[in-house]
Structure 1
Amino acid sequence: MKRIKTDLLVIGAGSGGLSVAAGAVQMGADVTLLEGHKMGGDCLNFGCVPSKALIASGKAAWAQSHGQKYGVADVVPYVDYAAAKDHVASVIAEIEPNDSVERFENLGVRVIQEYGVFLSPTEVQAGDTLIKARRIVISTGSSPFVPPIPGLESVPYETNETLFELREQPEHLLIIGGGPIGLEMAQAHQRLGSQVTVIEGLKALGKDDPEMAAVVLNNLRAEGIVIEEDALAAEVRGAAGAIEVETKDGRIFKGTHLLMAVGRKPNIDKLDLEKAGIEFTRAGIKVDDGMRTSNRKVYAIGDVAGGLQFTHVAGYHAGLIIRSALFGLPAKERTDHIPWATYTDPELAQVGLSEARAKEKHGDALEVVRFPFSHNDRAIAERKTDGLIKVMVVKGRPVGASVAGYQAGELINLWALVIANKLKMSAVANMVAPYPTVGELNKRAAGAYFSPRLFENPKVKRIVGFVQRWLP
């Protein structure tokens, strides 16, 4: 058994773990990184990167068949599904070197390509290596949760970890789960020529603002995607090419392929956390607001910590760990400024409080400002006018923003900046946006907040009248 000592042991080479390892080693720490599967984790190999690449293929096909409104004749696109998957693989390969073993070893990180198992509060075994660490960061991420639906054990199905290796185009894809993953893949496959039925046990996009979610769902249904809600899967049967899903209320849906997209589970099974004195639940490892576990020498970040499951959250957690574990400075997690987006077309994005939660928290002090995409000249030029910005404001400060529409994932960035820095609506109103841009919508939303205060205020009109009478 080989034995090593290290300042910082990082278990898991996903987004958060890689950020911690790169930052710590460049600041002078001795860093050991463990990864028993693929460098880059879920995001690079099975999640954010491949899904957005396949979405791009779907957009290209959709553009060919929907150009008439721009004066370009519609054509039926020839879709080579296997070639689209080659595009996905190429995108992963282009990004892969940034997350590679070679890059991190060149930075000075000791990389061990094995899973880590705790032996004690400060010791971890990885293959034939025993590692004793001053501080440990668990960043093992999450994996697809597959519920125990009767019959599923004998029917072939895909998850996000297998879908991008599928070379045969599904004729009719059944998707169990109407959340972001399910709907992104539904639209990509519909646009590439598959029939798609989404089967959701509750409400599609149920974690998002219903008003904003409706903008997306109406567009997806208009494209031909069947979205069945309140359809809890009770049984799955059939074989490859002929699969049936029966719901609790007796509805039956037939397709050729099945994708399970009902949620995620934390990757904790291999860690033997009990031996390290680390508390956990089915949702993930328990952490305090500094991302520390019940073992004060061990941190947990990203999906495995059971909070918001987004790649950028893991990156944010990494920054907290650098501050705390390397410099001994206080670091406290906050979530009010964390944005997220669903990359359907149109997109859906959120930061801070939704309208419903803002009403619960702030009551009558809340003002909700709305501004439609249909009043933005660039959106009109692009024929992308289905959409809405909604900003929740309390005493002049935004406490949340929701965007549904073209480039919502880009538009939300400004509101994330505003909320993170506790800026007022006046900061956005004072911004000068280039014309014509979709980003001008943010400024117009701020203007909609101030308009009634300026144009419908008798006091303002009296002041202007007085000044005009006395102005030389």
Structure 2
Amino acid sequence: MSRINCDLLVIGAGSGGLSVAAGASQMGADVVLLEGHKMGGDCLNYGCVPSKALLASAKVAYQQGHAQSFGVSDQQPQVDYAAAKDHVHDVIDTIAPVDSQERFEGFGVTVIREFGSFLSPTEVQAGDHVLTARRIVIATGSAPFVPPVPGLDQVPYETNETIFDLREQPRHLLIIGGGPIGMEMAQAHIRLGSKVTVLEGAKALGRDDPEAAAVVLEALRGEGVEIVEGALAAEISGEVGAIKVKTQDGRSFKGSHLLMAVGRKSNIDRLNLAAGGIEPSRTGIKVDAGLRTSNRRVYAIGDVAGSLQFTHVAGYHAGVIIRSALFGLPSKASEVHIPRATYTDPELAQVGLIEAEARERFGSKLEIARFDYHHNDRALSERKAKGFAKVMVVKGRPVGATIVGHQAGELISLWSLALANRLKMSQVAAMVAPYPTIGEVNKRVAGAYFSPRLFDSQFVKRAVRFVQRWIP
């Protein structure tokens, strides 16, 4: 058993862990990185990257069959499902070197391909190594949560960790879970030629703004996705090619393949947190505002910190703790400006408070600025005119934004910037967007906040008439 001492020990080589390791090492710290599975974590191998690659294949197939309105003949797409998966893995392989062991060793990081487990509040075992570090960062991420539905353990099923390796196209894909993962995979597969049924125990996209979610759900239903809400799975049975899901209200649904997409759970089982003096939480590891655990030498970031489970959150957390762990400076994480996006077509993106939350918190002080996509010339030219942007405003400052429509995931970044820096609506309205772009949506929704003040104000009209009377 060898012993290793270092300044910083990072457990987990996903997005957050890699960001911490790279930053700390290049700033002069002695860093050890542990990874018992794949470099790049869930995002590269099973999440963000493969899902967006599969959606891209599906988008091309859909465009072939819906080109007539552009003056191009519709063509029935000839989908090769296995080749689409080859595209997915080619994208993963192209990005993988950025997250590779060799690259991080080039930064000076010591990479050990083993899982880490606490032996004490100051020691972690990884294979044949015992490591002691001045600071430790837990960045072990999350995995698919598979609920204990009766019969599920006897039936073949997919999760996001397996579906991208599936080579046989599902004839009829049953998806349990109507959240972002379920909706993205539903649209990808319906466009690639599968029949798709989504079973959601409560409301599909239930954590999102209901008005915006309705636009997405209408679009998916219009493409042929069957979305069944209030359908809580009670029993699952069948075999390969013939799966049956029975819901609590007695309904039955049959399909050839089953995808479980009901949520995620933090990866903490291997860590032996008790030995490390680290208190777990209901959703992962308990942390304070600075992302420290109950063991003051140990931080937890990303999915395992039990908060918003997004790759960009893990990257943000990495920046927060580098300031604290390397420089000893106070640093706190905030969720106010963290955006989230669902990459369906149309996309759905949000940051800050949704309308219902803002109304509950601010009451009559809240104002809503809104702009519809069908007033955007670029959206009209590309026949992407469904959707809207709305911004929740209190005393001239945005407190939240919801965008549903073409490129919503790109547009929401501006409102994250506004919330992070407490910008006023006047500052957003002052920007100039090139014409014609989808980006004008943000300019116009900010302008919509001021339109009633300028065009419906009798004071403004009287002032203009007075000035015009006296200007030579």
CA distance in 2, matches of 1:188, 1:380: 24
Residue in 1 aligned with 2:253? 253
Q: Give 1:336's aligned residue.
A: 336
The aligned residue for residue 33 of structure 1 is 33
**Other structure's SS at 1:401 match:** strand
- Aligned ranges 1:86-165 → 2 under 5 Å: 86-165=86-165
Task: Give the secondary-structure state (helix, strand or coil) at the position aligned to 2:345.
Answer: coil
- Mapping for residues 322-361 of structure 1, pairs under 5 Å: 322-361=322-361
Q: Identify the residue that residue 450 of structure 2 maps to in structure 1.
A: 450
Q: What is the CA-CA distance between 1:369 and the residue it aligns to? A: 1.2
Distance in 1 separating the partners of 2:281 and 2:308? 15
Cα distance per residue 1:118-153 (max 9 Å; x no partner): 000010000000001110000000000000000000
Report the residue type matching 1:234 in the other structure.
Answer: A
Contact 1:234 1:247 in 2 (8 A): yes
Question: Cα distance, 1:282 vs. partner?
Answer: 3.4
Matches within 5 A, 1:135-284: 135-284=135-284
5+ residue gaps, structure 1, are none
Deviations 1:189-219 (A, max 9, x none): 0000000000000000000000000010000
Give the equivalent residue in structure 2 for 1:300: 300
| Counterpart-to-counterpart distance in 2, 1:146 and 1:429 | 46
How far off is 1:361 after superposition?
1.1
- In structure 1, give the amino acid aligned to 2:115: Y
1:399 alignment partner in structure 2: 399
CA distance in 1, matches of 2:301, 2:432: 38
| Amino acid paired to 1:353 | L
SS at match of 1:206: coil
How far apart, CA to CA, are the structure 2 residues paired with 1:337 and 1:207?
17
Deviation at 1:370, TM superposition (A): 1.3
Preserved CA contact (<8 Å) 1:266 1:282: no
Paired AA for residue 296 in structure 2: R
> Which SS does the other structure have where 1:285 is aligned?
coil
Letter matched to residue 452 of structure 2: P
Equivalent position amino acid for 1:291 in 2: L
Amino acid across the alignment from 1:459? F
Q: Would you say how many aligned residue pairs link Structure 1 and Structure 2?
A: 472
Matches of 1:161 and 1:176, distance apart in 2: 15
Residue 281 of structure 1 deviates from its aligned partner by 2.5
Query: How many angstroms apart in 2 are the aligned matches of 1:370 and 1:215?
Result: 15
1:82 aligned onto 2:82:
yes
- Supply the distance in 2 between the matched residues of 1:295 and 1:454 (Cα, whole angstroms): 56
Partner of 1:42: 42
Calculate the TM-score normalised by the size of structure 1. Answer: 1.00
Q: In structure 1, what is the Cα distance between the partners aligned to 2:93 and 2:426? A: 44
Q: What is the CA–CA distance in structure 1 between the aligned matches of 2:251 and 2:403, rounded to whole Å?
A: 34
Cα RMSD for the two superposed structures: 0.5
Preserved contact between residue 57 and residue 84 of structure 1 (Cα < 8 Å): yes
Task: Report the counterpart of residue 51 of structure 1 in structure 2.
Answer: 51
Tell me which residue corresponds to 1:389: 389
Q: Secondary structure at the match of 1:37?
A: coil
Q: How does 1:9-24 map to 2 (within 5 A)?
A: 9-24=9-24
Per-residue displacement from partner, 1:392-414 (whole Å, max 9, x unpaired)?
00000000000000100011011
CA distance in 1, matches of 2:454, 2:26: 52
2:193 is paired with a residue of what secondary structure? coil
Question: After the TM superposition, which parts of structure 1 deviate over 2 Å for at least 4 consecutive aligned residues?
Answer: none
Contact 1:6 / 1:132 at 8 angstroms: preserved in 2?
yes
Deviation per residue, 1:403-448 (Å, 9 max, x gap): 0001000110111111111000111111111000000011110111
SS in structure 1 of the partner of residue 132 of structure 2: strand
Q: Which amino acid aligns with 2:343?
A: Y
